[in-house]
């Protein structure tokens, strides 16, 4: 995760880069998810057991 500064926006936003490697041919791929404001993302309560995995994922991004 890194901070990015959009051209037409004064607000710093975040970007996530995910790297994948094809297990058959070894090709490397990238997926960029950009323009996210993590401060405005809703958080799931940890006590919500059926969504615990998602909540841990969101907490670990910070």
Residue pair 16/36 in contact by the 8 Å Cβ criterion: yes
pLDDT of res. 50 = 61
Supply the DSSP symbol for 5.
Answer: -
Residue pair 12/5 in contact by the 8 Å Cβ criterion: yes
pLDDT of res. 7 = 86
pTM of the model: 0.56
Residue 52, both tokens: 């615990």
Residue 38, SS3? Answer: helix
pLDDT in tens, the chain (62 residues): 899 988 888 888 999 999 999 899 999 999 999 988 888 888 766 665 565 555 555 544 44
Supply the DSSP symbol for 19.
Answer: E
Give CA–CA dist 42/38, Å, rounded. Answer: 9
pLDDT of res. 39 = 86
Number of domains observed in the structure of the chain: 1
Task: Tell me which residue range forms the domain holding 7.
Answer: 2-60
């Amino acid at each position: 995760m890194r901070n990015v500064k959009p051209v037409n926006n004064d607000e710093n936003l975040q970007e996530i880069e995910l790297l994948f490697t094809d297990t058959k041919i070894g090709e490397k791929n990238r997926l960029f998810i950009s323009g996210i404001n993590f401060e405005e993302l809703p958080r799931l309560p940890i006590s919500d057991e059926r969504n615990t995995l998602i909540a841990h994922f969101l907490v670990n991004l910070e």
